[in-house]
Amino acid sequence: MAIRKIRLDGDEILKKNARNVDVIDSKIKELAHDMLDTMYANDGIGLAACQVGMLKAMIVYDVQYIEEDEIRKPMVLINPKIISRSKSMLLVEEGCLSFPNIYNDVKRHEKIKVEYTDLNGERKVLCAKGMEAIVIQHECDHLEGIVFLDRVERKK
């Protein structure tokens, strides 16, 4: 697999909507593996396809990697769609591989339910909470051209 170049702040692809993946072929699987390699190489816990220059509705993440001393549990979500959100919110400091060394507080839903397709073409539903829910929301925002700084509450 390969480590791809991460698109940085100012790259207009970060503000565009991703397109759904219609066919899970060898190119999509290669992209998923490259995204994971790129994420790990940059000490990230999540990455959206647009961040490596591909307008595909696909995200990868691994919250266990950061929480469990480098034990890997990679996840690939194709065409993810958040179908429910808890009313309870968390205020968390977020960063992003596309915005190096920038961190800010963002409000996110504590729990979510997301529907997605896996690399085998199976449609699945995942219930996530805490850090996993936060990462999924952050990466799904990328698929809609939203970056975490767009979610920062402006000080009065």
pLDDT digit string (tens) for the chain, length 156 residues: 799 999 999 999 999 999 999 999 999 999 999 999 999 999 999 999 999 999 999 999 999 866 666 678 999 999 999 999 999 999 999 999 999 999 999 999 999 999 999 999 999 999 999 999 999 999 999 999 999 999 997 653
- Per-residue model confidence (pLDDT) at position 156: 39
For the chain, report the end-to-end CA distance as a whole number of angstroms: 47
Q: How far apart are CA 131 and CA 137, in angstroms?
A: 10
**Residue in the block written with tokens 């940085």:** 8
Name 120's bridge partners: none
Q: Domain segments of the chain: what residues?
A: 12-151
139 a catalytic residue: yes
Give the torsion sign (CA, 65, 108, 3, 17): positive
- Per-residue model confidence (pLDDT) at position 99: 97
CB of 27 within 8 A of CB of 54?
Answer: no
- Per-residue model confidence (pLDDT) at position 109: 98
Catalytic residue among 12, 30, 94, 139: 139
Q: How far apart are CA 47 and CA 26, in angstroms?
A: 19
CATH 3.90.45.10 is right for the domain spanning 12-151: yes
